[in-house]
Structure 1
Amino acid sequence: MVQSSSLLTAAAVAIISSTSHHRVECFAPPSISIQSAASTTKNSSLYAKKKAKSSGGGGFGGGFGSPTPTKKKSSRGKSGRSDLISALNDDDSKKKESKSFSRTYVKSEQEDMLNDLAAKSSTTIIGKAVAKSPHYNTPEMDPFWQLLPSLISTKFPTASDKDLERVAGMVEFSIGAGKVEDNVVENPWRPHTELHAYMPGLGEAEPFLDPDQLDLCKQLSENYDVISSEYEALLEERFDRKGNDRFQSVTSMNYEAGWKTMVLFYNGHRIKDFPYHLCPVTTKIMESVPIAGRIAGFNRQQPQSGIPLHSDGNNMWLTCQMGIKVPPTITNEAGEDVPSAHIRVGPETRHWEEGHCLLYDTTYEHETFNSHPTEERVVLHVDFFNTLKMTPLEIKVLQYIYDMREQFMKAEGVAKVGAQVL
C-alpha cells in the first residue's frame, strides 16, 4: 500500500505537468469566478480570489480550485492514463530502479495497478462524489479530482465512508455538484455566494467564539510577554538576506488598507530561510494546531486605516488573533475615551487587548479599523482548521488534499507566485 501511495502521489503531479494547457485557479466550484495564474501573480497570493465587491479572505484567500480547460483538446484521453503512464515511465527511467525491467513491462505493470486502484476507489464515498461532476471521465475533467479518490484511498486505507462523509460533501461542492446548507444561505451576515471551499454538516456558526474553548488561545495569552519579545526580535531582523522587508502587503486588498504581514507560515507550512530561532515559543505554539492553507504571522495595521468589509470563503477554518501592540484609547466627539482599534464580525464589534485573543469565523462579513492618529495596531494572526467541529481524521485528509493541490499548482508554474509573496 505504501508503494501504491507513493506512485499515486508521483502520478498526480506528473499528470498535471503533462497537461499544462490547463489554466490554474483556486479550489472552487466551477460557478465561482477565480483569477488565472497571471492574475494571481499580480495580486501576490497563491490562493487569491478574483477581486469582487467584497475582496475575500481577509486578504488571505485560500480555497479549492477547479482548473478550467481551454478549448484545446486534451491529449489525456478520457482519464489521462496515456500521459500519466508516459510521465511515470520517464521518471522510472531516470531513477533506473531496475535495469532488468523493460519499459514496456513497467508500463503495463503501472497501468494495471492504476486501473485497479481507480476501480476500487470509485466505489468509495469520495469516488462517488467525484463521479457527480458533469465532466467526470471526460477530457474536460480536472485530473486532480479524477485522481483524488485513489490518492485518498491509498493515503488513508482504514478510513471508512462514514469517516469521510463530510469530506465527500466538500468534494461535491468543489466540483460544482454540492449545495450550501439552508442555515448558511439564510444567514444575512454570511455571504454564501462568496464561499469557495465548503464542508457541509458543521452545524450552526457564530461570529465570535469563546477563546477559552481552545488551548491555543490559552497558550498564547499565558506566553504573551515572551511572544511580544520575540516579535521585537523579529523586527530587528525584518529584512532578509536580499534586503527584502519581511513585512509585506500579501494581497491586493492590503495595498490600500495599510495592513502588512510578517508571514511565519504559508499554506500551512514553514517558510524557507525564516529566522525561526528568534521566535521559538511563538512557532511552537502556532504549530500546536493544524494551521490552515492561508497565511499566519504578525499583522500590522497602520494608523487611520482598516480592512474593508469582506468575507472569507472557507467554512472549515477559524481565525485567532492575539493583541501584541494595541494603540491607546482616543476621545470621541462626545468627549468619551473609547478603544481606538476594532473589528466587526457579522453584527458584533470587538476590540483587541494586549495578551488577549479574539476567536472568530471569517465566513461572516467582517472589517477592521485603527482610528488612532499615530499608533499602529499589531496582532498575532493564526488561521487553523476548525478543531471544534471537525474530526482529527477530517483535518488530516483536508491537509493532505491542500498539500496535493499545491503540488499540482506548482507543477503548472505557480510556485513562482509563492516565492513572490514570501
Structure 2
Amino acid sequence: MNEEQRAKDVDALMQWSDDTGINRSALERIFDGLEGAGDRGAPLQGPAFLCPGLEARPWHDPDHFPWVKVLERNYPDIRRELLEQSGAMSAHPESGTLAASGQWTTYRFFNLGRRYEENHAQCSATSQTLQQVPGIASAGMAYFSRMAPGTDVKPHCGFTNTRIRAHLGLVIPPNCAMRVGAETRSWEEGKVVVFDDSFEHAVRNDADSWRSVLLLDTWHPELSQHECRALSFLMTLWRSFL
C-alpha cells in the first residue's frame, strides 16, 4: 500500500464516518494504521496495513473460537463437497508470485466482501457452516485451497493483522506443513488450526498427493463493532488491488 493509496483511504474513511454517524474517535486505531502511526508489529509480522494495539501472536488456540467446533462437526460434508468440486478449481491469483514450485488452486466462497453465489449453491453444507463464522462475509476470504505434490509457497505476510485465519484440514497427506512465525505445524483431517497470517508464513507439500483445506478469515477478536464496520468498508476498496 503506497502513500497515495493510504491518503485516499483516509479521505474515504473520513467521509464514511460522517455518512454513518460513527465518531472518528471510535476509529482512532484504524486511522493510525492508515497513516502509518504507532505500533509497527511483532518480530516476523509485516502486513501492509497494521492496526496498532491488537494482540499479536502467530498461532491462536482454536478452543477460544466457538465456531471451530461447528466446522469440525461438519467436516465430513465439507470434505465431500470439496471432492465433488475438485474439477472446478481455478489457479490461486497469487500462485504465480508466491508458489516457487507446484500448483495452487482455489474454489472461492467469499473475497473481501464479494460472495460467490454459484459456489455457495453448489456447496450448501459448506455455505451453511461458513455462516456461523463471525464476519465471514467481510473480514477477508473463504475458499477451498488445494496444493499439488511438490508445491512450495514462499514466505510472505498477509495484508492486515485485523483478521484471524483458520484452516480446516480436509485431505491431509503426510509430509506437508506450514510455518507461521518461527513455528512449523501440520494439519489434521477434521481439525482446525488458527493463526495470524500477518506473520510471515510459508507452506510446503512434500507428499505425493494433493493437500486440501478450507481456508477462512474472521475478525480479530479485539476489534470493536465500529472498527469491524469501518474495516468492512475498507475491504471493498482494497479488493481492487489485492
User: Which TM class, normalised by the smaller chain length?
Assistant: 0.7 to 0.9
Distance 1:228 1:147, change over 3 A: closer
* CA displacement, residues 139-184 of structure 1 (integer Å, 9 cap, x when unaligned): xxx4x543431222212x1x334422222222322xxxx2434xx2
C-alpha deviation, 1:404, in angstroms: 4.7
AA partner of residue 225 (structure 1): P
Question: Which whole-Å CA distance do the structure 1 matches of 2:187 and 2:232 have between them?
Answer: 30
Q: Indicate which of 152, 156, 164 corresponds to 1:306.
A: 152
Distance 1:171 1:308, change over 3 A: closer
Alignment gaps of 5+ in structure 2 = none
Q: Indicate which of 130, 135, 151 corresponds to 2:16.
A: 151
- Percentage of pairs with the same residue: 24
Secondary structure class of the residue paired with 1:354:
coil
C-alpha deviation, 1:353, in angstroms: 0.3
Instruction: Tell me if structure 1 keeps the 8 A contact 2:99–2:154.
Output: no
C-alpha deviation, 1:376, in angstroms: 1.1
Matches within 5 A, 1:14-413: 28-30=1-3, 66=5, 142=8, 145-155=10-20, 157=21, 159-173=22-36, 178-181=37-40, 184=41, 187-190=42-45, 192=46, 195-203=47-55, 205-235=56-86, 238-239=87-88, 246-251=89-94, 252=96, 253-254=98-99, 256-272=101-117, 274-287=118-131, 288-291=133-136, 292=138, 294-327=140-173, 329=174, 340-372=175-207, 374-386=208-220, 388-404=221-237, 406=239, 409=240
C-alpha deviation, 1:365, in angstroms: 1.3
Distance 1:290 1:262, change over 3 A: same
Distance 1:255 1:376, change over 3 A: same
AA partner of residue 28 (structure 2): E
* CA displacement, residues 73-106 of structure 1 (integer Å, 9 cap, x when unaligned): xxxxxxxxxxxxxxxxxxxxxxxxxxxxxxxxxx
Instruction: Tell me if structure 2 keeps the 8 A contact 1:227–1:282.
Output: yes
Question: Which whole-Å CA distance do the structure 1 matches of 2:184 and 2:100 have between them?
Answer: 24
AA partner of residue 189 (structure 1): L
Task: Find the counterpart in structure 2 of residue 137 from structure 1.
Answer: none
Question: Which whole-Å CA distance do the structure 1 matches of 2:99 and 2:66 have between them?
Answer: 30
Task: Find the counterpart in structure 2 of residue 94 from structure 1.
Answer: none
TM-score normalised by length of structure 2? 0.87
Question: Which whole-Å CA distance do the structure 2 matches of 1:293 and 1:405 have between them?
Answer: 12
Relative contact order (C-alpha < 8 Å, sep 6+): which is higher?
A: 2
Q: Alpha carbon RMSD of aligned pairs, Å?
A: 2.4
C-alpha deviation, 1:220, in angstroms: 0.6
Question: Which whole-Å CA distance do the structure 2 matches of 1:295 and 1:202 have between them?
Answer: 20
Secondary structure class of the residue paired with 1:163:
helix
C-alpha deviation, 1:380, in angstroms: 0.4
Question: Which whole-Å CA distance do the structure 2 matches of 1:394 and 1:164 have between them?
Answer: 6
C-alpha deviation, 1:350, in angstroms: 0.9
Distance 1:224 1:179, change over 3 A: same
Question: Which whole-Å CA distance do the structure 1 matches of 2:62 and 2:197 have between them?
Answer: 15
TM-score normalised by length of structure 1? 0.52
Question: Which whole-Å CA distance do the structure 1 matches of 2:234 and 2:204 have between them?
Answer: 35
Distance 1:358 1:405, change over 3 A: closer
Instruction: Tell me if structure 2 keeps the 8 A contact 1:166–1:200.
Output: yes
Alignment gaps of 5+ in structure 1 = 1-27, 31-64, 68-132, 134-141, 240-245, 330-339
Secondary structure class of the residue paired with 1:307:
strand
Distance 1:364 1:229, change over 3 A: same
C-alpha deviation, 1:223, in angstroms: 0.8
C-alpha deviation, 1:293, in angstroms: 5.8
Distance 1:350 1:400, change over 3 A: same
Question: Which whole-Å CA distance do the structure 2 matches of 1:303 and 1:257 have between them?
Answer: 7
AA partner of residue 380 (structure 1): L
* CA displacement, residues 187-233 of structure 1 (integer Å, 9 cap, x when unaligned): 4322x4xx311111113x11110011112211110111111122223
